[in-house]
Structure 1
Amino acid sequence: MGKTQGRHGLNGNPPAVGVAHIPWEDMRDAFDAAGWLNLTNTRGTLKIEGVSLELTGLDDPHIKRDRYEQVAGGPSDSADFSMGVVHAPYLRTLDAFTADGYPLILAGHTHGGQLCIPFYGALVTNCDLDTDRVKGLSTHTAEGRTSHLHVSAGCGTNRYTPVRFACPPEATLLTLVGRE
């Protein structure tokens, strides 16, 4: 199967089948033009106050655009801190990041369960992650290693269920501090 090429292609990935197209390309282009660090199946590095931060990202696993083999190998020795970034926290991606030794993985996609029952929690995650980890900080273990996982509940809904119940929207601010 050939790869889609070009600026508005799928970053070398074959097109997803049966997925509604959301016109994201113009927004991506605007972010890129403003200096955004695009993490679509690639690695990037930021220097913040003299600290080298390595980010390893994947395209959306929910529509099978993730290509971990393009970024595999774990954190580089040259970075002060490394983390994995993925839209949807599917177990295959969490397992890969964790087995490769990433100490932190950031994800979203779940909308915090979106429809929750008070005193019980989320009914679904919209991926294969268990409902106990649908939002917030937890850990993930794979191949004898453990990573911290933060799943943001976010602010949105999905097009099939355009409401939230017992799941307030949220934006997350994480403050990372050294282990000293």
Structure 2
Amino acid sequence: MPPRTSTAPSLAPAALIAAGAVGVAAAVWGIAIERYLFTVRWHELPILPAGSRPLRVLHLSDAHMAPWQHRKQRWIAALADLEPDLVINTGDNLGHIDGLRGLRSAFDPLRGIPGFFVHGSNDHVAPSPRNPLKYLTGPSQSSGKPRSEPLDTDALDGYLGEELGWLDLNNAVGSVEAAGLRIDAFGVSDAHRDWDRLEILPPLLDELRGEAAADLTIGVTHAPYRRILDGFTDLGADVIFGGHTHGGQVRIPGSPAALVANCDIPLRQARGLSAWSHGGRRVPLNVSAGLGHSIYAPVRFACRPEASLLTLTSRS
């Protein structure tokens, strides 16, 4: 008997076409749509002394600003309508050598609101072209001198500090008053570049705390490495703020964990509000997924650009 032959068409070409169509649709969504779907992530934390009025904290991170990004600038500027009492900026503000021009349009409405800021590497050097697939293989090189075009960090710090009135916490401490509260804060420069100097903070904090008791103590870092979070917890932070991760930037829809974080934080804590435990203490940790992206990786998928508004209330 001769062998039978099948006349049914192969499903392989159809499957390949369907997979390709899904890939194209995902790329179009991530590049042309979702990276412009700015959102506010809202949280409430009962961590203030009893009887305190609520404190509204606006957390901004990773703007990676370029001068032509007008939609992002307008959206950030409108955040002033939330009437925050305090602004926390966790770095990577600039994404282009002329990014400060766009940053002024975005941040000027926040002028006069007390705040703190730290640096990411893109507050010192401009981004450079890289293979975006390498991001999925693990954290990028964390040490050494970046081989990129230098940015005018002094001009940035002058704007954030002298014009907006925010305190520089790069390996430093500071204190402000907001909503009738004394708020002490400490921070480090970009831990991803090993620019952090945790060891210098304890004596600075001792001197700061010798003046008067704080109602709230905040730890601020760009890159939320475990060593930084452990150190901040040991130093008595009541709440910690970080950025850097972009929330993974590209995520699986519905997954609670990022695919990557570009640092050693657990992937489930690479975005949003969680808690960090160390040395018998459990401290709220807010990691912002950020407002932007490198101009060389203009995509967001299942991870919208964001700011956070945390309302801190009194403990019961």
By the TM > 0.5 criterion, same fold?
Answer: yes
Residue 154 of structure 2 is matched in structure 1 by 25
| Structure 2 segments unaligned to the other structure (5+ residues) | 1-142
Pick from 244, 249, 253 the counterpart of residue 114 of structure 1: 249
Identity of aligned residues (%): 42
Q: Which residue of 2 aligns with 1:124?
A: 260
Closer/same/farther in 2, CA of residues 177 and 22 from structure 1, 3 Å limit: farther
Match of 2:310 in 1: 174
Cα displacement string for residues 72-128 of structure 1 (whole angstroms, at most 9, x for unaligned residues)? 266836111101010110000001011222121011111111010112242100110
Distance in 1, Cα, partners of 2:299 & 2:271: 17
Question: 1:46 is matched with which residue: 172, 176, 180?
Answer: 176
Q: 1:21 to 1:38 in 2, by over 3 A?
A: farther
Q: Distance in 2 between matches of 1:49 and 1:150?
A: 21
Distance 2:315 2:201 in 1: 26
Residue 150 of structure 1: how far off its partner (Å)? 0.5
Q: State the one-letter code of the partner of 1:78.
A: A
* Misfit runs of 4+, over 6 Å: none
Deviates more, 1:156-165 or 1:107-116: 156-165
What are the Cα deviations for residues 132-162 of structure 1, in whole angstroms up to 9, with x where unaligned? 0011111111122211100011111135533
C-alpha deviation, 1:33, in angstroms = 1.9
CA pair 127-148 structure 1, distance change in 2 beyond 3 A = same
The correspondence for 1:136, drawn from 272, 275, 280, is 272
| Unmatched segments (≥5 aa) in structure 1 | 1-15
Equivalent of 2:232, from 97, 100, 112? 97
2: distance between equivalents of 1:41 and 1:18? 18
1:59 equivalent in alignment to 2:189: yes
Q: Secondary structure at the match of 2:202?
A: coil
Larger radius of gyration, structure 1 or 2? 2
| 1:150-175 alpha-carbon deviations (Å, 9 max, x no partner) | 00111111355331111111111111
Q: Distance in 2 between matches of 1:125 and 1:85?
A: 18
When structure 1 is superposed on structure 2, of 68-77 and 135-144 the one drifting more is 68-77
8 Å Cα contact 1:87/1:109 also seen in 2 = yes
Task: Indicate the residue corresponding to 1:147 in structure 2.
Answer: 283
Determine if contact 1:135/1:153 at 8 Å carries over to the other structure: yes
Bigger proportion of residues as helix: 2
The Cα shift of 1:70 comes to: 1.4
Where does residue 167 of structure 2 map in the other structure? 37
Matched, 1:157 2:287: no
Cα gap change, 1:163/1:64 in structure 2, threshold over 3 Å: closer, same or farther?
same
1:62-77 map, 5 Å: 62-72=192-202, 76=209
Aligned length: 165
Distance in 1 separating the partners of 2:236 and 2:160: 29
RMSD: 1.9
- Which residue type is aligned with residue 246 of structure 2? H
AA matched with 2:190 = D
For 1:138 and 1:60, the matched residues in 2 are separated by 21
